[in-house]
Structure 1
C-alpha cells in the first residue's frame, strides 16, 4: 500500500473487428498524457486499455475472414498492442474480454444483479445495429437514401426477435437524473451532460442484456443458450482490471472508483447511462467522470473506409516522428470538440511551436553555454527583476497546467507550457547574451543560467506529451531528477553541470507540395 494519492484512467476497450486508426490513437493518447502527468505529479496511477472481443459483429467478421473467432481476436488484438508500443503508451494493463479473469468478473456481476432482482427473462423484438452492437428505438431511427432504416450513427439496423434477459434500466431514471444534477462534472464536456440528461428525461426502457441468436460471448451463468450482451460484458472490464469480484483486492481498494473513463462521443450513452445504472444496481461505487471527446475529419472530409481517407497512425509516425504526432493531436483542437486533421496544419503547428519554439530556444541556449561557458552550466550573478519574472512565471505555470489537466483541457495545458517557451524566447531577444560576451560576461552567465533553468522546467512539464523528445533534451542538460517536485526555486539546475555539444530535438518539416506551391 502506498501513501501516494491514486489515479485510475481508462480508455474504452476497442472492438477487434477492424485495424486500429487515428481515433483509437487519439483516445489512448489522451489517457497516456493524463497518466504520465499524474505520475510526474506524485500519483500512484493505473492506466488501462485493451480490446473488446465478443459480439455478433466479431463473429461475422471472423466468419468472413475464414477463421475461428478466438484466432481472429488474437490477430487483431495484437495490432492494437503494436499501436500502443508505436505510440509509446504507458498503460499499466492491456485487458482482453476473452480472458478467464474477465469472464469470472462479469459473470459474478450478472449474478449480483440477478440476485438483487434487476434482471428478468422476456423476449426482445426491435431494431438492432450489428455495427454499433446497440439496440435502437423506432423514434431514434432515420431513413437512408434507399429507404432503408438507419441508426443515429448511420449504421444499418436489422429487426431482431429472440428470447432475452433484460436489465431494469427504467428503475434508475430518477437516480441517474439526481446523479447528473448533484455531480455536474460526472459527464464532460458540459454539452455532453446536457445530451445525456435529455436522453434520460425522455424515458428509459429496460435494456436487453443477453442474446440467444449467436454464440460468441460470455455465457450467461445458469441460463444455457444465452450469451451476455456486449455492453454489460465490455463495460465490466474496468472492474476486472482492478481485481473484481474480490472487493478486498489491493488494486480494487486502491483504484476503484475510476477517476476518468475516456470515451468517444458515439459510446457516451453506454458509459453515462447504462454503466452507472449497472453499478448502482450492484451497490458499487460510481466512476468520478466520463469524458466524451469528439471525432477527427481528414482535410475537411468525414473519415471512412469507402472514401479511402482513413488516417493511419503508423504512417504518420513513420513520416513525422512520434512526438510531433503526439503533440499535434493533443494541441490542435480543444479536447471534447471535433477536429480536422490537415497536413498543412500539422506542419505549421509543429514548425511554429516545436522547431521554431522550444527546439530553437534550447538549441541556441545550450550552444551558447557549450561554446562560451566551457561546456558547463554557468554560475549566475544576482538575478534582476526580468530574470525573476521569467522563472516565477514558469513556476506558477504548473498550477495552471494542473487545473487544465484535471478538466481534460489538454490543448490549454500545452498552450500554457509553450507560452513559457515563447516568453523565454522574448527574454533571450531582449537580453542578447551573445553581445554580453564582450560587454558583461558575468551578466551573460546569469542570462544563460536563467535560460537553462527555464528550459529545464519547461521540458519537465512537457514530458507527459513528448516523453522521448524531453528525455533527449533533459539528458543534454544532465538533468536526472524530473518529477514536478523539481519545479521552482528550491531545485534550480546546478552551476557547473557539464553539458555535451547539443543536438537538435525537433526537425523542421516541409509543407505538402500543394500547399507549398
Structure 2
C-alpha cells in the first residue's frame, strides 16, 4: 500500500521521491520483518506495480461506465495518517501541543478541513444490501464486537465515498480524468483481487482468479474494519463479484494502555524480541497470550515467564527427557508398547487435543488452539512423573516386566510428542521440525509439513523401531537477566 498523501509527505520530509521512499520501506522494513518472524508469503504485491495499477484503472472505468461513479464536491475533516475523511462525532479534543484542536482518535493529531471536487462511488446504494448480507451471514464479520460496529455504522446512514484526489499526484491516475488520482484506500483494497488476476478474461490470470477469489478470510486491524466490511464488499457488489466469506478484525497491541505507534515511538521491534527469545517463541507468545480479536499488552516479564514455564520447562524438557531415556535404555530405538489404562487415557487426551486444536483454528481462536495442544503437553509430563520410568528402569536387567513397562511409557510419550509436533507446527515451525527429526518421524512418516492437524490425533502412527536422537534443547532456559537485556 504505497500511494496516498501520507507516503508523499513522509517522502518529502526525507527529501526523496515517493517511489524511492516506498522502495526503501519494502527493502529495509516490510520484507525483512517477515523473515525475522519466519512468515512465508505466496506473493508480495505492491500497489505501485503495473499488474496492480492497470487492473485498478480497468475496474474503476467499469464502475464509471455503469454509473456507479460520479463527480461531486466534498468538505470534511481529513486525517492524513489514516488517509480517511472522519465523521465529526469521531473526533477527539487535542491535548498538549494540540490543545484546542479536533484530532483523529487513532493518531491523536489534528485533522485537516478539506474542500475538493472529486469523483464519488455510490456507496449508499449498497447499505441495505450489506445489512441484509450480514443479517443472513453473521459470521461474515467477526468477532461479535466488530460485527456490531459495522451494523451500527450501516444503520446510521452511509454516505457516498469520495474516491479521487486532485490536490496531489502520487497515486493511480483516474483513467478518464488524469488530473485526479484514485483515493488510496479504493486503490489498496483492490490488491486483494488484482494480485490474483482481476479482470483477466483468459490465461493464467483468469485461472488464478477463478481458483482463489473470493478470499475465505480477510485478517485486518480493527481500525480499518469499515474499509474491509463496508467499502470493499460494496465495491464487489457494484462490480458483480462475490464477497469474501469472512472479515476478521484483530485487536491492537498496547503499551501503557495505548496502541503501539511508530510515530509516537511506543512500538517494540520484533527484532529485539526474536533476538532474545527466538522466532518460535515470538509467534507462540502472541498467539497464546492474547485472544485473537481482542486488544492485548506485551511485557518482557510475562514473555520470559511463559517462555520458561511453558516452552523450556514444559515442551522442551519433555522432548529432552523422552529422547534421552530412549537412547539410554533402548540405544535410541523406539520400543513397542503394551497399552494399559494409563496409556489409553493419553490416547483419549491426544485425540481430544487434536480435535480441539483443529476446531479452534477453523474459528480463528488461535489461543484456544494452542491451549488444546498444551493439554497433551501437560498430560505427557504428568504421565512421565506418575510412571517414573527412570525408577522402573533400575530393574530392567532382571525383570522383563520392568523392561516392558519402561518401553511402553517411552513409546507412549514419543507418540504423544508426534501429535504435539503436528499441532504446534503452524505456530512453531523451527522447534517442531527439530522435534520431528529427534523422533525419527521424518524418516518414518515423511515431511512434517505434509501432516494434517485433522488426523494428528489418530494414535499409533510412529512405528516401533524408529531411531530417536538427542538434539539440542528446543528452548534453552533463560535467566531473568536475559529478558532484562532484551527490554533494555
**Superposition deviation, residue 137 in structure 1:** 2.5
CA distance in 2, matches of 1:277, 1:284: 10
Are 1:496 and 2:458 counterparts?
no
CA distance in 1, matches of 2:112, 2:176: 29
The answer to whether the 8 A contact 2:301-2:483 is kept is no
In the alignment, which residue of structure 2 is the partner of 1:364? 321
CA distance in 2, matches of 1:152, 1:505: 43
In the alignment, which residue of structure 2 is the partner of 1:456? 418
1:212 pairs with one of 154, 158, 166: 166
In the alignment, which residue of structure 2 is the partner of 1:192? 146
Equivalences for residues 430-445 of structure 1 within 5 A: 430-439=386-395, 440-445=402-407
Residues 497/299 of structure 1: CA separation in 2 closer, same or farther (3 Å cut): farther
The answer to whether the 8 A contact 1:260-1:287 is kept is yes
- SS of equivalent to 1:336: coil
In the alignment, which residue of structure 1 is the partner of 2:399? none
In the alignment, which residue of structure 1 is the partner of 2:398? none
In the alignment, which residue of structure 1 is the partner of 2:187? 233
Please say which of residues 263-272 and 494-503 is displaced more in the overlay.
494-503
CA distance in 1, matches of 2:82, 2:293: 21
**Superposition deviation, residue 500 in structure 1:** 2.4
The answer to whether the 8 A contact 1:55-1:229 is kept is yes
In the alignment, which residue of structure 1 is the partner of 2:427? 465
- Can you list the C-alpha shifts for 1:78-125, whole angstroms capped at 9, x where unaligned? 220111111111110111000000001111210121122110011222
CA distance in 2, matches of 1:408, 1:489: 23
CA distance in 2, matches of 1:222, 1:306: 37
CA distance in 1, matches of 2:155, 2:259: 31
Are 1:179 and 2:133 counterparts?
yes
The answer to whether the 8 A contact 1:463-1:471 is kept is yes
1:377 pairs with one of 326, 334, 350: 334
- SS of equivalent to 1:226: strand
Say what the alpha-carbon RMSD is for the aligned residues.
1.8
The answer to whether the 8 A contact 2:251-2:292 is kept is yes
In the alignment, which residue of structure 2 is the partner of 1:148? 101
In the alignment, which residue of structure 2 is the partner of 1:67? 16
- SS of equivalent to 1:508: coil
Give the structure-1-normalised TM-score. 0.87
**Superposition deviation, residue 511 in structure 1:** 2.6
Please say which of residues 445-454 and 474-483 is displaced more in the overlay.
474-483
**Superposition deviation, residue 478 in structure 1:** 1.7
1:126 pairs with one of 71, 76, 79: 76
Q: Which runs of 5+ in 2 are unaligned?
A: 396-401
In the alignment, which residue of structure 2 is the partner of 1:82? 32
The answer to whether the 8 A contact 1:261-1:287 is kept is yes
The answer to whether the 8 A contact 1:131-1:156 is kept is no
CA distance in 2, matches of 1:316, 1:67: 31
In the alignment, which residue of structure 1 is the partner of 2:480? 511
Larger Rg over CA atoms: 2
The answer to whether the 8 A contact 2:276-2:483 is kept is no
The ranges of structure 1 where at least 4 consecutive aligned residues each deviate by more than 6 angstroms after the TM superposition are 513-516
**Superposition deviation, residue 247 in structure 1:** 5.7
CA distance in 1, matches of 2:182, 2:190: 11
- SS of equivalent to 1:95: coil
The answer to whether the 8 A contact 2:356-2:369 is kept is yes
In the alignment, which residue of structure 1 is the partner of 2:302? 345
1:392 pairs with one of 321, 329, 348: 348
Give aligned pairs, total.
Answer: 464
In the alignment, which residue of structure 2 is the partner of 1:426? 382
CA distance in 2, matches of 1:247, 1:175: 28
The answer to whether the 8 A contact 1:262-1:292 is kept is yes
Of structures 1 and 2, the one with the larger relative CO (CA 8 A, separation 6+) is 1
Are 1:487 and 2:466 counterparts?
no
In the alignment, which residue of structure 2 is the partner of 1:43? none
**Superposition deviation, residue 300 in structure 1:** 5.1
Q: Which runs of 5+ in 1 are unaligned?
A: 1-51
Residues 289/486 of structure 1: CA separation in 2 closer, same or farther (3 Å cut): closer
**Superposition deviation, residue 365 in structure 1:** 0.9
CA distance in 1, matches of 2:254, 2:41: 27
In the alignment, which residue of structure 2 is the partner of 1:5? none
CA distance in 1, matches of 2:260, 2:154: 30
In the alignment, which residue of structure 2 is the partner of 1:316? 273
**Superposition deviation, residue 515 in structure 1:** 8.6
**Superposition deviation, residue 410 in structure 1:** 0.6
